[in-house]
């Protein structure tokens, strides 16, 4: 196995040498869905798509950005009287569309929760800077230290989609804590050494929903740039054993209402780990991944991960 024990600063400098996004964001009109396993439907939004999953007293609105921005997923938990936003997108423009969509629901926004450091999950939080912003303490520290840098290196490829300044979470979520908003209970878990070094998952016990965010992707290429194959696989296996939830919501790709994505992710990680051990260049690894997964979305994530796995010396 190759050594990926490189400092975060060195990795970020490597990423800065190349565009973090391939092309400009595309416009994808919301389509139609003929229902789903828990009563799902669609709502229109200018870019990307919005899926709505209904429960007895709660709705979850799941927005997926266009393919060229990585099919990043933001979830809006709609309680009887309030709204909770989970993650804020790579784009402040898409973040604003989510904000406008949320305001049309006619309920106050109680908070936004940021699941981890990667900027595709917090750039759009700039459009929610007037509401309490929650994260793990480690994520707060990471965004505070690296947020300005992420913004600067993203301007050439994202332009107006980049926030003019970082918005650092101002409320801390502790590992193992439980919050109740308008009667909806959320249980928080700090996951380490997976897709990112520090990540937050959210369990809604009454709805039997796990908001896994970037612990799980659905029909998208996984970002393996941190090289945490064993830790990520261990986390997914623990997730698969857990029978307390019926629905798992991903951080990239659509919510299909199925746990099958967990098995798919485990197979994907096993394949990439084995392929990575055999190749010498990013081009070789990308070719192997594309040959095995030609239909997966968010292929730009493979290019970004390879900047990390094969840093220039």
With a cut of 80, say whether residue 42 has pLDDT above it. Answer: no
Q: Which residues contact 188 (CB under 8 A, 6 or more apart)?
A: 173, 174, 175, 176, 177, 178, 179, 200, 201, 202, 203
Q: How confident is the model at residue 180 (pLDDT cuts 50, 70, 90)?
A: very high
Candidates 260, 225, 265; CA nearest to 117 is: 225
Mean pLDDT of 57-64: 94
Instruction: Considering only residues 13 and 109, tell me which one the structure prediction assigns the higher pLDDT.
Output: 109
Give residue-wise pLDDT tens across range 206-263. 999 999 999 999 999 999 999 999 999 999 999 999 999 989 999 999 886 568 889 9
- Collect contacts of 280-285 with beta carbons under 8 A, ≥24 apart: 281/310, 282/306, 282/307, 282/309, 282/310, 285/309, 285/310
Instruction: Calculate what percentage of the chain has a pLDDT beyond 90.
Output: 72
The pair of structure tokens assigned to 64 is 């997926």
With a cut of 70, say whether residue 35 has pLDDT above it. Answer: no
Q: What pLDDT sits at residue 161?
A: 87
Instruction: Calculate what percentage of the chain has a pLDDT beyond 70.
Output: 86
Strand-pair category, 109-113 with 133-135: parallel
Asked if residues 212 and 251 have their Cβ atoms less than 8 Å apart, the reply is yes
Mean pLDDT of 127-146: 96
Tell me how far apart the alpha carbons of residues 178 and 170 are, in angstroms, rounded to a whole number: 18
Q: What pLDDT sits at residue 9?
A: 35
Mean pLDDT of 184-201: 97
**Structure pTM?**
0.86
Q: What is the Rg, in whole angstroms, of the alpha carbon atoms belonging to the chain? A: 18
Give residue-wise pLDDT tens across range 262-303. 999 999 999 999 999 999 999 999 999 999 999 999 998 999
To the nearest whole number, what is the mean pLDDT of the chain? Answer: 86
With a cut of 70, say whether residue 121 has pLDDT above it. Answer: yes
Ordered by where they begin, the domains of the chain are 8-309 (3.60.15.10)
């Amino acid at each position: 196995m190759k050594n990926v024990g490189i400092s975060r600063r060195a990795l970020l400098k490597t990423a800065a040498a190349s565009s973090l996004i391939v092309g400009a964001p595309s416009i994808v009109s919301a389509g139609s869905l003929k229902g789903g396993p828990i009563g799902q439907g669609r709502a229109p939004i200018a870019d990307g798509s919005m899926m709505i999953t209904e429960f007895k007293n709660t709705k979850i609105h799941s927005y997926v950005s266009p393919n060229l921005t990585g099919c990043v997923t933001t979830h809006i938990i709609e309680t009887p009287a309030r709204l909770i936003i989970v993650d804020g997108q790579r784009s402040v423009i898409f973040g604003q569309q989510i904000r406008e969509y949320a305001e049309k629901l006619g309920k106050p926004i109680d908070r936004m929760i940021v699941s981890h450091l990667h900027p595709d999950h917090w750039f759009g939080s700039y459009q929610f800077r007037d509401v309490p912003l929650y994260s793990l303490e480690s994520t707060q520290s990471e965004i505070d230290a690296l947020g300005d840098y992420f913004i600067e290196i993203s301007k050439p490829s994202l332009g107006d989609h980049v926030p003019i300044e970082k918005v650092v979470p101002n409320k801390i979520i502790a590992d193992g804590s439980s919050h109740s908003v308008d009667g909806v209970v959320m249980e928080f878990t700090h996951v380490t050494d997976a897709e990112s070094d520090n990540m937050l998952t959210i369990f809604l016990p009454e709805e039997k929903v796990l908001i896994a965010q970037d612990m799980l992707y659905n029909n998208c290429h996984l970002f393996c740039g941190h090289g945490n194959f064993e830790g990520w696989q261990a986390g997914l296996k623990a997730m698969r054993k857990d029978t307390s939830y019926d629905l798992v919501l991903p951080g990239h790709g659509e919510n299909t209402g199925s746990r099958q994505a967990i098995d798919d992710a485990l197979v994907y990680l096993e394949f990439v780990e084995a392929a990575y051990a055999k190749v010498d260049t990013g081009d070789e690894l990308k070719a192997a991944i594309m040959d095995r997964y030609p239909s997966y979305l968010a292929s730009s994530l493979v290019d970004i991960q390879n900047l990390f796995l094969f840093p220039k010396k």
